[in-house]
Structure 1
Amino acid sequence: MKMIRTFTFIYRAWIQHRLNRNGNFLKFKNKTLPFSSQIDCENGAKYKIEGLILRDRCSVRVRKGGNLNIGDNVAFNNNCILTCRGEITIGADTNIGPNCAIFDHDHDYMSKNRMDNYKIGSIMIGKNVWIGANVTILKNSVIGDNCVVGAGSVVRGEYHSNTLIVGNPAVEKKVI
């Protein structure tokens, strides 16, 4: 048990050192990065992560040219994926349910080389947002502060603060 704790400490220190280079900032709220989760930031990526809680099997990827900003006390539940090629901002005190996907880009399916060409946008998620299970958030989306996004919703567009957002495509259901 002591050996596992030692290895975990070394692994977390290595991740912290590797990701805190080039003026970027990363701070975990939970004690360790789960072994089944990954944070992958390419050279040329910018990120500021003030307080992140990752559960099992989460993947956070910031690609070259991407700009990721995550506020304090942001939690990702199991099996979430976030890929940033443009810009993604997530406000403080936001909870993201299991099996959620957040992508600020689409593949350019009209291109001859579809796998390497992207249509890049941005995503802005406000403070104190609760995102239910199995939600997909697509490029060029803005979710205001204090919103609740219902399970299974597909979000693309702008949504006002203090609203319940549900459906596929997601719509504002009521003010909360």
Structure 2
Amino acid sequence: MKPYLKVAWNMLKYNFIKIFRCSDMKINGIILLGYNTKFSVRKSSHIELGKNIISDGRCVIVVDENARVDIGDRVYFNEGMMISSKSGIFIGSGCQFGPNVKIFDNNHCFDRTHGVMASHNASEVQIGRNCWIAANVTILKGAKIGDNCIIGAGCVVKGEIPSQSIVSQNQELKIVPIEDR
């Protein structure tokens, strides 16, 4: 389908969400989110979408009661993106996300007596401007990624990443020959 039809579809869809499901949703410009992008929001959710946000494929954004998601201008999401907010997730302008990136500002509560519980604890996630988040990255609660960072494929990010950093995980391949029995 042509991009101008996608823009019209997004205007209708997200204005419908704003009117009937999330009164604090602000759309600042043209967004080209894929047709199968799913928003799960509450009436008290706070969402702000910048200009020229693009997604290819499925994207799921969950914003709970009184939680916030702010996405800056010119942000690109690839296939399989998931954002889950129970506190706040802030994504700076110019960021690009590879396939299957997951951002969680929350985690289930658990203890030795009860195991995993239905309740959550949460802490804001901040991603600076002009970051490249590669394929299969998971960003956990409390993460603060500075401006102009590159997060390599398969990383699990928590804590603070200074601006102008390249992050990768040491994932060595172990190769051994097959021995005859």
Query: Which residue does the alignment assign to 2:106?
Result: 105
SS in structure 1 of the partner of residue 168 of structure 2: strand
SS in structure 1 of the partner of residue 27 of structure 2: strand
> Are the aligned partners of 1:59 and 1:81 in contact in 2 as well (CA < 8 Å)?
yes
Cα distance between partner residues in 1 of 2:8 and 2:94: 28
Query: Which residue does the alignment assign to 1:94?
Result: 95
> Are the aligned partners of 2:24 and 2:44 in contact in 1 as well (CA < 8 Å)?
no
1:160 corresponds to which of 153, 159, 162: 162
> Are the aligned partners of 1:29 and 1:53 in contact in 2 as well (CA < 8 Å)?
no
For residues 38-87 of structure 1, the C-alpha deviation after alignment (integer angstroms, 9 at most, x for no partner) is: 12221110011113212111111111111111100111100111111101
List runs of 5+ in structure 1 lacking aligned partners: 170-176
Cα distance between partner residues in 1 of 2:148 and 2:120: 31
> Are the aligned partners of 1:154 and 1:168 in contact in 2 as well (CA < 8 Å)?
no
Query: Which residue does the alignment assign to 2:46?
Result: 46
1:35 Cα deviation from its structure 2 partner: 2.5
- RMSD (Å), alpha carbons: 2.6
Cα distance between partner residues in 1 of 2:166 and 2:8: 43
Query: Which residue does the alignment assign to 1:130?
Result: 132
AA of the residue aligned to 1:46: H
TM-score, normalised by the number of residues in structure 2: 0.80
List runs of 5+ in structure 2 lacking aligned partners: 172-181
Specify the structure having the higher radius of gyration (Cα).
2
Does 40-49 or 20-29 show the bigger shift?
20-29
2:17 corresponds to which of 10, 16, 19: 19
> Are the aligned partners of 1:105 and 1:138 in contact in 2 as well (CA < 8 Å)?
yes
> Are the aligned partners of 1:98 and 1:132 in contact in 2 as well (CA < 8 Å)?
yes
Cα distance between partner residues in 1 of 2:75 and 2:103: 14
TM-score, normalised by the number of residues in structure 1: 0.82
1:148 corresponds to which of 150, 170, 173: 150
* Aligned residues with identical type, % of pairs: 30
C-alpha spacing 1:113/1:154, structure 2 compared with 1 (3 Å): closer
C-alpha spacing 1:105/1:23, structure 2 compared with 1 (3 Å): closer
